[in-house]
């Protein structure tokens, strides 16, 4: 499986945008970029995914570099409820397995 690299931790102020980076330099042409987050003592929650184009949904936006070797999850206005571990995962279409790395622990400062 192609690997991803994320910062171990990040902090952001409440009500400000948050940009969570992810590097995936060995991504293949059929790998989707997925983002999940895990709140304390909860199961992970799907956030967003994309292939080549930028994606928006009600939770976040996903900006994918033109060469697809990196991506950024954007939370437009962070709230305290966004404090979680965010996982960037590559998943090949047709292979439903997800391999979780260590993710980025996001702390929101009131």
50 binds other proteins (CB under 8 A): no
Least distance from other proteins to the Cβ atom of residue 91, Å: 5
- Spatial CB neighbours of 54, under 8 Å, sequence gap ≥ 6: 61, 62, 63, 64
Are the CB atoms for 106 and 10 separated by under 8 Å?
Answer: yes
Greatest alpha-carbon span in the chain:
42
101 binds other proteins (CB under 8 A): yes
58 binds other proteins (CB under 8 A): no
Among 8, 58, 81, 96, binds other proteins (CB under 8 A): 96
Q: Point out which residues pair with 20 in neighbouring strands.
A: 73
3 to 42: interface string for other proteins, x by CB under 8 A:
-----------------------------x-x-x-x--xx
26/99 with CB nearer other proteins: 99
Q: What angle (nearest 5°) sits at the alpha carbon of residue 47, between those of residues 69 and 100?
A: 60
100 binds other proteins (CB under 8 A): yes
Q: What angle (nearest 5°) sits at the alpha carbon of residue 31, between those of residues 11 and 74?
A: 25
Could you list the residues that contact other proteins (CB under 8 A)? 32, 34, 36, 38, 41-46, 49, 87, 91, 93-103
């Amino acid at each position: 499986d192609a690997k991803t690299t994320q910062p171990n931790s990040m902090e952001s102020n409440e009500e400000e945008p948050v940009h969570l980076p992810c590097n995936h330099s060995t991504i293949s042409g059929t790998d989707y970029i997925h983002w999940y987050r895990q709140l304390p003592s909860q199961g992970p929650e799907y956030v967003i995914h994309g292939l080549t184009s930028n994606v928006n949904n009600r939770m976040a936006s996903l900006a994918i570099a033109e060469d697809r070797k990196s991506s950024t999850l954007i939370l437009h206005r962070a709230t305290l409820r966004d404090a979680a571990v965010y996982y960037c995962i590559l998943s090949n279409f047709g292979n439903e397995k997800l391999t979780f790395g260590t993710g980025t622990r996001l702390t929101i400062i009131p």
